[in-house]
Amino acid sequence: MNIEKRVTELVEEKLAEKPGVFLVSVKMHSNGKLIILIDGDNGLGVGDCADVSRHVGYHLEEENAIEDAYNLEVSSPGIDTPLSLPRQYVKNVGRQVSIKGTDGSKREGKLIGITADTVIIEEKIKEKGKKAELVENAIPTESIAETKVLISFK
């Protein structure tokens, strides 16, 4: 049995009760650490993580799904974790992002929106001898290697 697939089913089952909360990823590491990342359209509470942890833990024990000792960790993606789902992009509209291209390029700007195949950002473009101007650019999602939200301490 594929443990990540089973855990994904269990998480989706529990999140059906929480429409604003969604699964980002499930990863079983070789060291026995089972990491579940969930997120919320309007944030995430500790209770959401605890509910998922209890539900998954209970069923894995019931089914004796994992033979060896394991460590179950349920949390939201950290601030340094790249965005991976369209729903995460939507949640972060209006924030500053850094986009690394598959060609190694780097771009920064305000996340304005997302379509089926593009991410739209507002970048400051400065041409020599001119004032910087804000330009809206659509970046094809297939050319994006990684998108991270930038944190401002201003």
62 and 98 within one domain = no
70 and 104 within one domain = no
Predicted TM-score of the model (pTM): 0.83
111 and 57 within one domain = no
Residue 23 has pLDDT above 80, yes or no: yes
Q: What is the pLDDT of residues 112-130, one digit of tens each?
A: 999 999 999 999 988 888 8
Please list, residue by residue across 114-144, b when 16 or more beta carbons sit within 10 angstroms of its beta carbon and e when fewer do. beeebbbbebeeeeeeeeeeeeeeebeeeeb
Give the pLDDT confidence score for residue 67 in this predicted structure. 83
Residue 81 located in a structural domain: no
Residue 1 has pLDDT above 70, yes or no: no
Q: Which domain holds residue 134?
A: 86-149
132 and 105 within one domain = yes
Return the structure tokens found at 72: 């179950």
Residue 32 located in a structural domain: yes
The domain spanning residue 43 has which CATH number? 3.30.300.70
Residue 154 located in a structural domain: no
Count of beta carbons in the 10 Å neighbourhood of residue 146: 13
59 and 116 within one domain = no
Number of domains in the chain: 2
Give the percent of the chain with pLDDT over 70: 99
Q: What is the pLDDT of residues 42-75, one digit of tens each?
A: 889 999 999 999 999 999 999 988 888 899 999 9
